[in-house]
Amino acid sequence: MKLFKLTLCSLVITTLLFATGEIKEELEYSRIVTKVPTTKKVVALTFDDGPSLKTTEEILAILDEKKVKATFFVLGQNVELLPGVLAQEIEEGHEVGIHSYDHRILSKISKDDVKMEIEKSEKLIAKATVKPTLFRPPGGSYNKSVLSVVKDKGYTMILWSVDPHDWSKPSAKKIVDVVMSKIKPGSIILLHDLKYPSPTPEAVSIIIDRLKEQGYEFVTVSELLKYYEIQAAITSLTDTM
């Protein structure tokens, strides 16, 4: 029986180590992340398409009140119009990633144009902070050319695992219900700080309260990426053998 357990342990460890290699490859080569495999109750709130005047400001006020940090994937053209709102995001300790310059579907344009979309946004963001390391394509749409540019520019592509489609302006309750039904440790939540009026600020306030009640902690995407726990899983398994 002891020999069987040792053999099983060896097999599972080998599998987990192989998975570790896959995770490393995902982060370093394809550089696409939709969620983080972890047993810790940590999640990332992310916001696309801003900054906008009233909606982003309302969201920032809620995040400040509740002591939560988030990641904002900004559009270069909106940063150009509202540099002060971007500066506020940075000053208040939030993370900024690139979401292209003008929200074109990158899989439908040339490689040179994809590069231009990123570089124009980089230059605008660089006026307020350091070069970002995270990128999210509009609509989550990408192809080999997009991946190639993202990799060459040194970005990690961040998608999502929870999407309540708040951009379509459902009720705040519906947004909350979708998020709460799909949330798991390591989730990346997709929301939007689009033009006012928006149901998202109200929903964000409720989501934060409910997830905190369940013991969740909110972190930025870059912080979330540190929570891969394959080694912890190996330790836990061997301790039971």
Residues forming the active site: 48, 192
CA distance 137 to 144: 13
8 Å CB contact between 47 and 192: yes
As a whole number of angstroms, the distance between CA 215 and CA 164 comes to 21
- Which two three-digit tokens encode residue 174? 């519906």
C-alpha–C-alpha distance, residues 64 and 188, integer Å: 20
Q: 158: which strand partners?
A: 33
Sign of CA dihedral 115, 73, 35, 106: negative
Separation of CA 120 from chain center? 21
